[in-house]
Structure 1
Amino acid sequence: MTTTHESPSAADSGASASESFKASLERRGSAASSSERVATVVTGILKGIHDAIRANDVTYPEFQAAKAWLISVGEGGEWPLFMDVFVEHVVEEVAAQNQKGSKGTIEGPYYLPDQIRLPSTATLTMREDEAGTPLVFQGQVRDIAGDPLAGAEVDIWHADNAGYYSGFAAHVPTGNLRGVIVTDDRGRFEITTVQPAPYQIPHDGPTGALIEAAGWHPWRPAHLHLMIRAEGHRTITTQLYFAGGEYLESDIADATKPELILDPTPEDDGTARVRYDFELEPA
């Protein structure tokens, strides 16, 4: 069984995720919605809540406990964590219905923009004694017609061998295991990094209290996060998992897909090597 470790505290991660999300809104902008659209969506959400209350005979003490929990999620800065773990996969599923190209999945709360840009063949920034199985991840970025996309960006980030993300754990150096690789004139890339570990989402706060009360587990399988960009094409945000890994069938975020499973080949020097190509549709 893989050795796994706890993630940073919910308070620390919540604060970092909230600040990162607010910064991303400024960068990406917020989509405007008509009052009719807002009314439709909010009415649907409220109807789902009302139906659940009626179907499960929710009591006043349970209602008050839910109110207290909602307040604690806000005070702890855990809304990005909660929404990304329990809600985002359905939003992504709806968005993917009319999309072509490579499979996507959730972004999650640990993305940080403006990371170091690296050439098509590169090693991610890491500590000299970075633990973990060396991993060489290579592939090609193409359009849906099969033509290579030169100068595409492969924005990659992932946890380390102990389940920690840089920017969300004080002891991990800034920018560790993050980078933006720019593909060559044939759309190719080769990234040297280390294989990440499964990790528990921060669970010492209100999100963790809900998970414990429901009898669920807080684990995510090991994965690489990727955001693939090319001018004139729809950006793909995805995660790639590892064959045989723990929690693939019980991911707390429900974000795994069969098309996103890597099966690295071990080499004589202990390095694992794997290839995965991406296809982007026109924007």
Structure 2
Amino acid sequence: MTDNITEQATAAASGAAATEQFRSKQRAEATDVDTKRVDSLVRELLAAAHDIIRRHKVTYAEYDALKSWLIQVGEDGEWPLFLDVWVEHVVEEVANENREGSKGTIEGPYYVPDSPRLPAEATLPMREGEEGTPLLFQGQVTSVDGTALSGATVEIWHAESDGFYSQFAPGLPEWNLRGTVIADDQGNFKIHTIEPAPYQIPTDGSCGKLIAAAGWHAWRPAHLHLKVSAPGHQLITTQLYFKGGEHVADDIASAVKPELILDPSPVPGSNGREVTYDFVLDKA
């Protein structure tokens, strides 16, 4: 089963799926364009590129290599991957700089809306005998004033023990390790799942070529993805990592924050672990 996924999970397939998912999101969230804002941002972006060329005396050979690589990024469908790994963390930082509640971080390219709705205590959809350490992830959702948020929505998704996401790798059930948990009347939730593994972003496509050319590593630390929301409050998008985990200190996506690191405890009488993490939402 694992070998089959590993053999067929290519950067091209993953990139195409991520690109299509992003296009669907954009169609649903189409907005008017402020031409003055576009003019300002694009002019500054181009000016920054021009400055780099002048300062580093970029050659035509280097320019042509860049042009070829940019074309390949598009053909591989890896623009969502490239932007989410190397750019999104700064956009998130600016967007949420005034929040008083829980810390957020990047969404990443593998979110899929409308995952199965589950009760306040639930086990995520998974394969029979799903590999990995069992994890009980629990907590409470409150407002910044301490009010429990009844019926808050906790969307969660994460990779399996080999680092693959359902709907972005073959051989996985459609909603494997994805769910939308509805908290109880006190904002409490209990989610039974398995601990994800660290994984490399796809390296057989254009992003992999950049990583190899720059001498970087391609690893992300193990993490849970979450979107937490409640009526009258701002949605928070975040990722939670594991204390002592590989690449927590050198995440290729620069998305780890100290407030987002979990420290699970062993569950007596089992091989599983548990952790409590509460979410505090800002009012809309």
TM superposition score normalised by structure 1:
0.96
**Count of aligned pairs:** 278
> Which position in structure 1 is the counterpart of 2:257?
257
> Which position in structure 1 is the counterpart of 2:84?
84
Q: Is the 8 A contact 1:85 1:252 kept in 2?
A: yes
1:109 positional shift? 0.2
> Which position in structure 1 is the counterpart of 2:195?
195
1:56 equivalent to 2:56? Answer: yes
> Which position in structure 2 is the counterpart of 1:15?
16
Q: Is the 8 A contact 1:177 1:193 kept in 2?
A: yes
Distance 1:236 1:141, change over 3 A: same
1:99 equivalent to 2:99? Answer: yes
> Which position in structure 2 is the counterpart of 1:146?
146
> Which position in structure 2 is the counterpart of 1:166?
166
Q: Is the 8 A contact 1:248 1:256 kept in 2?
A: yes
Give the 3-state SS of the residue equivalent to 1:180 in structure 2.
Answer: strand
1:203 positional shift? 0.9
The letter for the 1-side match of 2:272 is T
> Which position in structure 1 is the counterpart of 2:30?
30
> Which position in structure 2 is the counterpart of 1:280?
281
The percentage of counterpart residues that share the same residue type is 58
After superposition, what is the alpha-carbon deviation per residue over 1:216-236, rounded to whole angstroms, capped at 9, x for unaligned? 000000000000011111100
> Which position in structure 2 is the counterpart of 1:42?
42
* Higher alpha-carbon deviation: 123-132 or 51-60: 51-60
Within 5 Å, give how 1:170-249 maps onto structure 2: 170-249=170-249
Alignment partners' CA distance in 2, 1:20 and 1:153: 21
1:32 positional shift? 2.8
Q: Give the unaligned 5+ runs of structure 1.
A: none
Alignment partners' CA distance in 2, 1:8 and 1:104: 29
Distance 1:97 1:7, change over 3 A: farther
After superposition, what is the alpha-carbon deviation per residue over 1:210-257, rounded to whole angstroms, capped at 9, x for unaligned? 010000000000000000011111100000000000001110100000
Alignment partners' CA distance in 1, 2:75 and 2:36: 31
1:56 positional shift? 1.2
After superposition, what is the alpha-carbon deviation per residue over 1:240-278, rounded to whole angstroms, capped at 9, x for unaligned? 000000001110100000000000001230110000000
Q: Give the unaligned 5+ runs of structure 2.
A: 1-5
1:33 positional shift? 3.4
1:7 positional shift? 9.5
Give the 3-state SS of the residue equivalent to 1:97 in structure 2.
Answer: coil
Q: Is the 8 A contact 1:243 1:262 kept in 2?
A: yes
Give the 3-state SS of the residue equivalent to 2:96 in structure 1.
Answer: helix
After superposition, what is the alpha-carbon deviation per residue over 1:55-84, rounded to whole angstroms, capped at 9, x for unaligned? 211100000110000000011110000010
Distance 1:107 1:6, change over 3 A: farther
Q: Is the 8 A contact 1:6 1:163 kept in 2?
A: no
Alignment partners' CA distance in 2, 1:31 and 1:41: 17
Give the 3-state SS of the residue equivalent to 1:155 in structure 2.
Answer: strand
1:30 positional shift? 3.0
Alignment partners' CA distance in 2, 1:34 and 1:233: 27
RMSD: 1.2
Alignment partners' CA distance in 2, 1:133 and 1:193: 9
Alignment partners' CA distance in 1, 2:8 and 2:133: 20
1:93 positional shift? 0.8
Q: Is the 8 A contact 2:8 2:170 kept in 1?
A: no
1:6 positional shift? 9.4
The letter for the 2-side match of 1:33 is V
Q: Is the 8 A contact 1:7 1:164 kept in 2?
A: no
The letter for the 1-side match of 2:251 is D
Give the 3-state SS of the residue equivalent to 2:138 in structure 1.
Answer: strand
Q: Is the 8 A contact 1:115 1:179 kept in 2?
A: yes
